[in-house]
Amino acid sequence: KQEVTQIPAALSVPEGENLVLNCSFTDSAIYNLQWFRQDPGKGLTSLLLIQSSQREQTSGRLNASLDKSSGRSTLYIAASQPGDSATYLCAASGTRFGAGTRLTVKP
């Protein structure tokens, strides 16, 4: 059974910092790894999807990497802004989610 873990559960940083969110999974036989953003009272919005054959994906200030052999993915956010405050979740093979990291970016 695939287990997905996200550490830390919460993170608070000052505006402008670069930061890394972590996602680990126990079964390396995944077909993709997806990162989502969840704002309070709203659904999840897909940020980046890394296919199993890929090592990373980039969108604007976001960069996600995937290392299947070690069972890890990271989401790098450059030059963080208060508007980045949200909960970030990763999902392995579409339907196995981590519990998320709640990010607060302070002005």
Partner 1 sequence: DADVTQTPRNRITKTGKRIMLECSQTKGHDRMYWYRQDPGLGLRLIYYSFDVKDINKGEISDGYSVSRQAQAKFSLSLESAIPNQTALYFCATSDPRGSPSTDTQYFGPGTRLTVL
Asked whether position 94 contacts partner 1 by CB under 8 A, the answer is yes
Nearest-approach distance from CB 78 to partner 1, in angstroms: 23
Nearest-approach distance from CB 26 to partner 1, in angstroms: 14
One character per residue 1-20, x = contact with partner 1 (rule: CB under 8 A): ---x-x--x-----------
What sign results for the dihedral spanned by CA atoms 5, 7, 11, 13?
A: negative
Residue carrying the six token digits 């054959």: 53
Asked whether position 99 contacts partner 1 by CB under 8 A, the answer is yes
The torsion defined by the Cα of 81, 83, 77 and 36, in degrees rounded to 10, comes to: 170
